[in-house]
Structure 1
Amino acid sequence: MQQLAHWRKALTALLLSLLLVVSVGCSQTDTSPFADTQQESTEQGAAPAVADDAQKGGAFNRFFPGSEGGYDVVFAQEKQGFAEAKLKHEGEDIGLLAISDTISLPTAAQKYESSTETLEGYPLLDIGDTQTGVLVGDRYQVKAISRDPAFDAQARREWLQKFDLAALAVLE
C-alpha cells in the first residue's frame, strides 16, 4: 500500500513537471512581422473591423440585378456592411457582384475622387484589370469583379448599370 502511494506522488510530480514544461515551451514570444498588427487588432479599445453603423448586408440585396438571359445572380455572402453575389453564365462562375458600405473603410471611397468617368452620375473606376466599381451616394461601393476573361470591362459596366443605383443612393 505504501508503495502505491509512493507511485502516485511520483506520477503526480512527473505530470505537473510535464505540464509546466509544455506551458512554458508553448508561450514563446511571436516575432513574426504580423505580431504587432495582431496585438493592435485585439487590444481593448481597438477600432472594430466593421463600423457599428455600417448597413446590414441584407439591406443591399434588393439593389442587386436579377437573373436574366442565361445569367444567374446567386447570393453568396452577406455580413455587416457587405453583400456579394456570384454571377453565373450557363452554370459557370464568371464574376462577382458586390455592394459594400465604405463607412468602415473610408479609403475605399477616397479612391473615387480621381475618377474621370461616371455611371448614372456616380464616379466610376476600373480597379486593376478585373474590377470595375462605382461609388454611390458618397458611401456605397458597388463592384463587378471578373472571374472569367469573357466578363471584361464593358460587360462589368453593363452589369453595374443593372443595379438600382438611384435607390441605393438614398439608403439610410
Structure 2
Amino acid sequence: MFKLRSIVAFSLLITIIFITPACSNNEPTSRFDKAQQESTQPDAVAVAEDAVKGGELNRYFPKNEGNYQVIYTQEKRGFAQAKLKQDGQELALMSISDVANNPTAAKKFKDSKETIKTYPVVNQGSKATAVLLRDRYQVKIVSRDDSFDESLRKQWLEKFDLDTLSQL
C-alpha cells in the first residue's frame, strides 16, 4: 500500500512539474514585469542616442523668483527635473523630457485645443499639465500641493524658456 501511494504521489508531482509551465502565459503580471519584458527586447532603446544631456536642460527652467525656489533634483540624458518650493514647502515637480526617448509620449498632444505660446498643452489627470515643443520636448508640472492648481501650473509653464528650448 505504501509503495502504491509513493508511486501515485511521485507521478502527480512529475505531472505538475511538466504541465504547469506549459499552461502558463508569459504575459507580465505587474507593471514592473511589463517594464522588464519591454526593456529586455533586442530592439529596446533606453535612451535615444541624440537625446540632450540632462544638465543642459536646466537652463530652460524658470529662475528663482521672490520666495519661490527652483531646486534641481535629477539630471540624466534626455531628462531634467526640479522641485518648486515656496517658503520651504514643495508646491510642484517640474520636468523637461526629450521625447526622442519615448516617441509615443507626443501622441497625447495631437488633439489638444489649448496652447501656451503656440505650443499644445494637455492636462494629465487633475494634478499634471504638460506642453509639447516641436514634437520633441515635453515640459511638465505636477502639483504636489492642492493649492497649486491648473491655473498656477500653466502660469509656471509660461516661465520656462520654451522658445529657446524648442530650437534645440
Q: Identify whether the pair has TM-score above 0.5, normalized to the shorter chain.
A: yes
Q: Which has the larger radius of gyration?
A: 1
SS at match of 2:63: coil
Equivalent positions of 1:38-117 (< 5 A) are 38-43=36-41, 45-117=42-114
- Aligned partner of 1:22 in structure 2 is none
Amino acid at match of 1:134: V
Sequence identity (%) = 50
CA displacement 1:8-51 (0-9 Å, x = unmatched): xxxxxxxxxxxxxxxxxxxxx897635576355235x3312221
What is the RMSD of the two structures over their aligned residues, measured on CA atoms?
A: 1.9
**Structure 1 residues 121 and 36 mapped into 2: Cα distance closer, same or farther (>3 Å)?**
closer
- Aligned partner of 2:17 in structure 1 is none
The whole-number CA distance in structure 2 between the counterparts of 1:52 and 1:115 is 29
In structure 2, stretches of 5+ residues that fail to align are 1-20
CA displacement 1:36-82 (0-9 Å, x = unmatched): 76355235x33122212211111111100111121100000000110
- Aligned partner of 1:8 in structure 2 is none
- 1:33 equivalent among 10, 29, 32: 29
Q: CA deviation at 1:107?
A: 1.4
Amino acid at match of 1:41: S
User: 1:133–1:144: 8 Å Cα contact kept in structure 2?
Assistant: yes
The total of aligned residue pairs comes to 142
